[in-house]
Amino acid sequence: QVQLVESGGGLVQAGGSLRLSCAASGRTFNLYVMGWFRQAPGKQRESVAAISRSGSNTAYADSVKGRFTISRDNAKNTVYLQMNSLNTEDTAAYYCAAAYTSSSTLVASAYAYWGQGTQVTVSS
């Protein structure tokens, strides 16, 4: 099993930046595809970004392409989400997730392990 703990959320003004981190337990972190998802109040959960086990391949939702960057450090069992040019529509609870699969995917059902989430609020 994998336990995931997110951090780095907070309140930021529109146009600002935040970096989220997700620390994973266990010795097999590099066997998991990692993803970030978000859910705003009253809205369905949506995918944000995913990264392959080695970090060589990434995928992004259209809404964040060019603004967000996902990365991972397998030596530290940590995945990151750098968020730039934030706008109010990015306000949501952000969750990291782990999928025991061979390629990066933005499909939430592929992810078996989820963190508790970290809140990101962007003010105008």
CA atoms within 13 A on the CB side of 100: 5
| Paired sense of beta strands 46-51 and 33-39, if any | antiparallel
Count the Cβ atoms, other than its own, within 10 Å of residue 13.
10
Share of the chain above pLDDT 90, in %: 94
Q: Give residue-wise pLDDT tens across range 56-78.
A: 999 999 999 999 999 999 999 99
Instruction: Give kind and range of the element (H or E) at residue 28.
Output: none
Token pair in block for residue 11: 């309140």
Is residue 4 predicted with pLDDT exceeding 90? yes
Higher-scoring residue by pLDDT: 95, 104 = 95
Are the C-beta atoms of 2 and 17 separated by less than 8 Å? no
Q: Which two tokens stand for residue 43?
A: 């809205």
CA distance 72 to 4: 14
% helix / strand / coil in the chain, to the nearest 5?
A: 5, 50, 45
